[in-house]
Structure 1
């Protein structure tokens, strides 16, 4: 690539940043013309293109690019030392291209209307509503744990393979789309990341590759969690970037599924968020509610705790900090805390559903 071309591409980076921020200040415009327009066709095309490949093509691309970058630095280190500004220009060129591709292929979804607007619900809730909802979630979790194990003391073990869970995730979305057509999902592209172990050390359950539109799941995660993790990552594929929103979508889709294992996974996941929230707001009632949870459910929580504890490392807070900054830069003011926003969404969605039933 000629230096003149590189200079033009590098100069385009700050222009792109300004342009994205300007367009992002009009969320309805993004909603209508990108999220429900251009992105629908881009994502479908990418899922058709890469979805049939049995392994993560995006992970392979990342690996190759990393090797090429190391090779470039190794072969050109003398020139880099003598002319560091040339390397800076090359870095700016790469950032400019990546920034453009990221926002065209998926990233503009960070600036769409929030899911509260889509479903007509709020996020605020009282402590009493949290207590009531947590009790409801405990009852549902206990019910499906007992149904699946035949007792109250055995943890749930999902008998499906990861591939079967991915297929059932697709089926769950088809079932959910009957009630919410805006969440129609086709051309499955859901895979176990080849970097599942590194993802675990970083503390992540999965991610969406924005350049290939492959939903990547941490394949070593305890299997009882995989249904909601899979539904969460597909939530990113259907165009929602906010983590609280995709946690909520994952819960709705999995709990609406015809499969009891998916329902248990959804309610167990939701219970974890509710209990954490309640612990900080009313520890006394938290303890009262915990005492009503089946031992089998608690065993699954212990399984999850032991899993993450095994991979604890000094670098995890750094990875979380970087991701927190990434989220804040991309229009999620709460950063990594946005994951916890699912509690208010779940509470208010149930209030809305109960209101609809009372009006029938």
Structure 2
């Protein structure tokens, strides 16, 4: 029996999933032939294509697709109701094309070799090591805050525009590649999102558009957090999909920047994750460590808390749940909690490279 083209495309979703999951068990193959083979070429091509455009092309593509989908549902609502199987087939066909395009353009990076292997790091969950590292981070954070403000009670106000922060981050990548050549970043394509307000209500600081390879950053973020998020999203562009790894890359490139404001942003960013882990393990240790922070550092943390709290809404947990499911489906078994897994990378890295 002859199968129509649309049916064939829809049915191809099943073997695609099987192939992707099979390749996911062969990380060396993915690393060699996709992540460091094919992907850098296609990523560079799309950054050349869209990087020079000052606004987000990917955001406009998403917007256009949403409008087209809504228009399709409205115009064809009677047909859809009468021909439900055809509608399901059409939806599966679209999902099949999207699934293939996503993994072809970027998504196979979820199955590459772990960054810890590339850096020859041994990750541990030793609580004492975490405590020792957090003490060091507090010292560096306090010292840098005082160096910038000359007053331990003042919050740090990063005085740069977002465009300047983008430029300084790119310079930071130029510096970090001398230490870690695999972080070389050419042909930039990093921008603020046109839908930053929506991202904020959803609880997101940024994202990489896998179809246009544009690094998108939430333009409403306080400057205190902006440098690390730019570094994080560029890390995704470089082919690192795991959120703990791009959190680490964002920290690393920002902490190694020559600019003291960037260093402060990085130390405070890492410190927040470490304190969060300690709070979950031992409230007494957490309170003791918190008491050693300069008041100005606490003010910066409060600034971030106030920012996110001001956008709290009933739909945010829904969006977070969807993203959590997406991450779990793409080889990040801890879902959203994988962001916090950056702590193990930080502790392991700074055992070899002391602060």
Structure 2 length normalisation: TM-score? 0.98
Partners of 1:22 and 1:133 lie apart in 2 by 38
Q: How does 1:242-253 map to 2 (within 5 A)?
A: 242-253=242-253
Name the residue aligned to 1:254: 254
Name the residue aligned to 2:70: 70
Q: Are residues 1:338 and 2:338 paired?
A: yes
Q: Are residues 1:194 and 2:194 paired?
A: yes
Name the residue aligned to 2:304: 304
Name the residue aligned to 2:177: 177
Name the residue aligned to 1:111: 111
CA contact (8 A) 1:46 1:212 kept: yes
Partners of 1:129 and 1:282 lie apart in 2 by 14
- Can you list the C-alpha shifts for 1:240-265, whole angstroms capped at 9, x where unaligned? 00000110111111001111111111
Name the residue aligned to 1:52: 52
| Secondary structure of the structure 2 residue equivalent to 1:224 | coil
CA contact (8 A) 1:125 1:347 kept: no
Partners of 1:301 and 1:343 lie apart in 2 by 18
Partners of 2:31 and 2:54 lie apart in 1 by 32
Name the residue aligned to 1:211: 211
Name the residue aligned to 2:4: 4
Report the CA distance between 1:280 and its aligned residue: 1.5
Partners of 1:348 and 1:29 lie apart in 2 by 26
- Can you list the C-alpha shifts for 1:156-182, whole angstroms capped at 9, x where unaligned? 111111111111111111100011101
Partners of 1:231 and 1:154 lie apart in 2 by 26
Misfit runs of 4+, over 6 Å:
none
Task: State the aligned residue count.
Answer: 353
| Secondary structure of the structure 2 residue equivalent to 1:250 | helix
CA contact (8 A) 1:123 1:341 kept: no
- Can you list the C-alpha shifts for 1:207-236, whole angstroms capped at 9, x where unaligned? 000000000101101111000010011110
Q: How does 1:25-44 map to 2 (within 5 A)?
A: 25-44=25-44
Is there any run of 5+ residues in structure 2 with no aligned partner, and where? none
Q: Are residues 1:316 and 2:307 paired?
A: no
Partners of 1:19 and 1:276 lie apart in 2 by 38
| Secondary structure of the structure 2 residue equivalent to 1:145 | helix
CA contact (8 A) 1:325 1:335 kept: yes
Name the residue aligned to 1:127: 127
Q: Are residues 1:352 and 2:345 paired?
A: no
Partners of 1:343 and 1:80 lie apart in 2 by 49
- Can you list the C-alpha shifts for 1:130-153, whole angstroms capped at 9, x where unaligned? 111111111111111111112111
Name the residue aligned to 2:154: 154
Partners of 2:71 and 2:353 lie apart in 1 by 57
Report the CA distance between 1:122 and its aligned residue: 2.1
Partners of 1:85 and 1:339 lie apart in 2 by 40
Report the CA distance between 1:4 and its aligned residue: 2.0
Partners of 1:131 and 1:179 lie apart in 2 by 27
CA contact (8 A) 1:156 1:300 kept: yes
Query: What root-mean-square deviation, in Å, do the aligned CA atoms of Structure 1 and Structure 2 show?
Result: 1.1
| Secondary structure of the structure 2 residue equivalent to 1:223 | coil
| Secondary structure of the structure 2 residue equivalent to 1:123 | coil
| Secondary structure of the structure 1 residue equivalent to 2:216 | strand
Name the residue aligned to 2:290: 290
